[in-house]
Amino acid sequence: MFHTFQSSVALRSPGSAGDLGEQAKPAARSTGSRRISTSNACVECRRRKIRCDGTQPCGQCRWYQHPEACAYSKPAQRVVPSRNYNDTALPSRTNSPPPGIAEESPGAVPPGKEGQALIESYFERVHLFFPMIDERKFWTTYLYGERSDSPWLALLNMVFALGSLASSTADNEAHYSYFTRSRQHLSLESFGSGNLEVLQALGMMSGYYMHYLNRPNEAHSLMGGTLRMATALGLHREYADPAHHSSGNTLSIMQHGEPDSISPEMRRRIWWSLFCLDSWASTTIGRPSLGRMGASITVNLPGKITNPAHMFAQPNSAQYIEQLKILPLIHASEFCKIGTRIQDRLVEQPLLKFEELAQFDAELVRWHDDLPSILANTEEPCPDFLKRVRLVMKWRLQNIRIVLHRPVLLSTALRRTPFVALSAEEKVAVGKCRLIAAKTIEDMAAECSNDLISGWNACWFAFQASMVPLISLFSDASNSDDIDKWRATVETALSFFARITPYSIAARRSADAVSKLYDAYKIAAEAAETMAQSAHYTNNNDNSFLGVEGLDANGVPQDVTAGLGSMGGGMGTWPDPASMGNLSGFWDDMMWDTNLPDMLETPFGIGDYDFQSAAQDGSAPCWMQGNGEQR
């Protein structure tokens, strides 16, 4: 359910408080007095990009009711390298990589304005998917510029990496240099450090960024260690004793100089962010949940408000915006709970009973119906930071409903059974799978914006959805109207891949795979039509082979025909599913978690289909060439 927040105190920007009287102003000035100006604004005013009067606390912080957050950073001293350093450094740059990818000192950070732009990009485009960082505390620490310890630099560089990733196109390579620096501050000993910033950096790295680099195995292994590190810190538990908590305020400010302080709400956000990241990744690559849910996980869902002042936040106030930013995680956590149970059941038994299938699907539909309208209705106006995340939430729902019904589609495809000959239950499951897949591709083609976060997610989901009409084309040619719809859906997917190529590194190869399968279908369809016409002509030909010794009616030697009869089926037919029991052997070979290497190796002879040259493309970004693993 969506709760609106109101407040008895109107919170509006200082510039728009003219109609509220003198009491709404930060401070009254006497007639003829001049505004105090200062060259060194406080950290909060610099973050908000508003004027500061230089007092302690300043008028703006008092007006926003956060005087404890008002602090002033010391100007950073500029270090100018000597002439001798420049003379010795220039020759070494002859064979160096581009400046954006150059190996720099682990402690290097981008210039002030560039760094702030990357952080703003992260919090605007990425943070809402997994809000495990206290935004205000992070900005305060960054603007102070006093910390250079490894945990902080590991987290800071991961924010830079994801901010760089989200603010550019698929050709951008600068993000990899920040990722490399972050890794230099992490080691095996980091898992035993008990540091929350290390935990956050590892979660962002293994749960999100490494999947963009196409390193699912490394990401899966690191995420396992990250979750266990979180349990070692006790984030999976909800403590009843207030003494375990630093504060009862959901939106509490983490004071400068107290890096270990953490509110109960931030504990919940960190745990459920990791939970969602692991759930999304495991569903994508078909890995077991390994006890992600259970009776021992007692932590409450995020979004619990314990400060009465924040119960009824005024729209557009700081508290209201904060609640909007946590809203996606609240509902994504419930979604991932359902998804985890579906994933575990499909691993146990891909072909579920119809009653269980219908129950899971009803839970997903109910979850969507319970969403607040600002998340459920993509046409409803909302802040820009919500538009991207609510679209991805919608696509994830469509994807898991496809995954839920897809085993029935594959089972009927194995039997080559026309739709009209299916049972009523199979018709419902197959029909839903086809309908949702077509709707998914149609929605993405119409709604996906031209940015990398949207394009990256949409490309994967569109590729999954495009397999449904392709399977249908190969397995069921009984209805020409359906065939036309499936072909139109595949062509829409190909057009969509072409459009988002600048915003997804996988779009071109996804289009290649779908295009080759689609071309194979068209060749097979033309061959089948030619054979049908030939058979019709042969049946009406007076010069048949009937009566000719040693030949059958088609002129084929009878000994050859007799030999084919021992195969138990004609050439080109699917194997009898009854001979495969519950299809467990068939599904084992289709699981994503069977011997798939990281990066772009081409296993299983896939190079025969012209993908090998693409995988060895010398123009591919450096981070796509491998990560030095022995595979």
Is residue 15 over pLDDT 70? no
pLDDT of residue 491: 96
Instruction: Annotate 420-451 with DSSP letters as a single string.
Output: GGS-HHHHHHHHHHHHHHHHHHHHHHHH--SS
DSSP characters over 389-417:
HHHHHHHHHHHHHHHHHHHHHHHHHHHT-
**String of DSSP letters for 103-158:** ---TT----HHHHHHHHHHHHHHTGGGS--S-HHHHHHHHHH-----HHHHHHHHH
> Does residue 554 surpass a pLDDT of 60?
no
Per-residue pLDDT at 365 exceeds 60: yes
- The CA-atom distances, in angstroms, between 506 and each of 37, 351, 457, 497 are 51, 30, 10, 9
Confidence of residue 100 (pLDDT cuts 50, 70, 90): very low
pLDDT at 93: 39
Residue (of 430, 438, 433) closest to 412 by Cα position = 430
**The predicted structure's pLDDT at residue 296:** 86
Q: Taking residues 282-308, what's their average pLDDT?
A: 78
pLDDT tens-place string over residues 422-434:
999 999 999 999 9
What is the longest distance spanned by two Cα atoms in the chain?
A: 120
Which among 322, 4, 414 has a CA at the least distance from the CA of 135?
322
* Distance from C-alpha of 455 to C-alpha of 462, rounded to nearest angstrom: 10
Contacts of 515-524 spanning 24+ positions with Cβ under 8 A: 516/609, 516/610, 517/470, 518/470, 518/473, 518/490, 518/494, 521/470, 521/473, 521/474, 524/474
Query: What pLDDT does 109 receive?
Result: 84
Per residue in 39-61, pLDDT (tens digit) is 678 888 877 778 888 888 888 88
Q: Is the pLDDT of residue 152 over 60?
A: yes
Q: What letter would DSSP give residue 243?
A: G
Global pTM reads 0.71
Closest CA to 389 of 120, 168, 128: 128
Looking at residue 256, its pLDDT comes to: 39
Report the run of H or E that residue 269 belongs to, with start and end: helix 264-285
The answer to whether 360 and 429 have CB atoms below 8 angstroms apart is no
Residue 274 host element (H or E):
helix 264-285
Two tokens at 81? 């390298």
Structure confidence by residue, pLDDT tens digits, 136-148: 999 999 998 888 8
CA distance 378 to 355: 31
Span 263-276, average pLDDT:
93
Report the alpha-carbon distance of residue 371 to residue 375 in Å, rounded: 6
pLDDT at 578: 44
First-residue to last-residue Cα distance in the chain: 48
Mean pLDDT on 558-569: 42
**Could you give the CA distance from residue 405 to residue 401 in angstroms, rounded to a whole number?**
6
Query: Which pLDDT value is given to residue 104?
Result: 61
Query: What interhelical angle do 112-125 and 135-144 show, nearest 10?
Result: 170
pLDDT, the chain, mean: 76
Mean predicted confidence (pLDDT) in 229-248 = 71
Closest of 120, 119, 101 to residue 156, by C-alpha = 119
pLDDT at 124 > cutoff 60: yes
Percentage of the chain exceeding pLDDT 90:
46
pLDDT of res. 621 = 57
Is the pLDDT assigned to residue 243 strictly greater than 60? no
Confidence of residue 70 (pLDDT cuts 50, 70, 90): confident
Burial letters for 6-30: b for 16+ Cβ neighbours within 10 Å, e otherwise?
ebeeebeebeebeeeeeebeeeeee
pLDDT tens, position by position, 586-599: 444 444 444 445 55
| 3-state SS class at 551 | strand
Q: Which of 528, 417, 530, 426 is nearest to 472 (CA)?
A: 417
Is 326:304 a contact under the CB 8 Å cutoff?
Answer: no
For residue 255, name the pLDDT band (cuts at 50, 70, 90): very low
> What tokens appear for 510 in the block?
């996804």
Quote the strand ranges of 279-340, DSSP E: none
Confidence of residue 132 (pLDDT cuts 50, 70, 90): very high
Report cis status (omega within 30 of 0) of the bond before 302: no
State the Cα–Cα distance between residues 601 and 630, nearest whole angstrom: 12
Q: Which residue has the higher pLDDT, 314 or 135?
A: 135
- The predicted pLDDT at position 611 comes to 36
pLDDT reported for residue 204 = 96
Residue 485 has pLDDT above 80, yes or no: yes
Least confident of 197-201, 410-414, 575-579: 575-579
Q: How many CA atoms lie within 13 A of 491 on its CB side?
A: 7
For the stretch 131-150, what's the b/e string if a residue is b when 16 or more beta carbons lie within 10 angstroms of its beta carbon?
bbbbebbbbbbbbbeeeeeb
**Cα angle value 213/215/221 (rounded, 5°):** 135
The predicted structure's pLDDT at residue 438: 97
Tokens of 239: 């403590």
pLDDT grade for 463, boundaries at 50, 70 and 90: very high
Mean pLDDT of 226-233: 94
Distance CA 166, CA 121 (A): 7
